[in-house]
Amino acid sequence: MDGKDLTKKEQNMVESTRNVRQAAPLVDIYENEDEILLHAEMPGVQKDDISINIDNGRLTVSGVRMLEKVGAAEWEEFGDVEYQRAFSVPQTIDVNKVNAELKDGILALHLPKSEAAKPKSIEIKAA
């Protein structure tokens, strides 16, 4: 690779980052008897810029980070980004009790299970 190719690639990289790029946030999912807990990494996204929808067994999470531009960009790798991810969720989620928290760029989404979906112990009676 010669210096001309490197310059060409650098110019292309700067050009391509000027638009809002899309990315899938990193996600951890945990399940216990009471809920499904989803952690999604969305650095720099404000809570008002996050959208969470559950419809017909499909959960979509999206958020947009728009950085304030100061001066002309000489090199941009960290620019604006739209995070978007979708999952299938069981119909047993109690949609009315779903809640979310955003702290330090991590979205914590609590998806409680309905009472009917929680495991139950059956007592055996002596005959």
Per-residue pLDDT of the chain (127 residues; tens, 9 = 90+): 444 444 444 444 444 445 788 999 999 999 999 999 999 999 999 999 999 999 989 999 999 999 888 888 788 777 899 999 999 999 889 999 999 999 999 999 999 998 876 677 778 888 7
What Rg value do the Cα atoms of the chain yield, rounded? Answer: 22
What are the residue ranges spanned by the domains of the chain?
A: 3-117
Topology classification of domain 3-117: Immunoglobulin-like (2.60.40)
**Residue 17, Cβ density class (10 Å: 0-12 exposed, 13-18 middle, ≥19 buried):** middle
Phi, psi dihedral angles at 102 (to 5 degrees) = -125, 120
Instruction: Copy the structure tokens of residue 30.
Output: 């945990």
Which amino acid is present at 62?
A: S
Q: Would you call 36 helix, strand, or coil by DSSP?
A: strand
Sheet holding 27-31, edge to edge: 27-31, 35-41, 106-112, 99-103
- What's the whole-model pTM score? 0.73
Contacts of 106 (CB under 8 A, 6+ apart): 39, 40, 41, 42
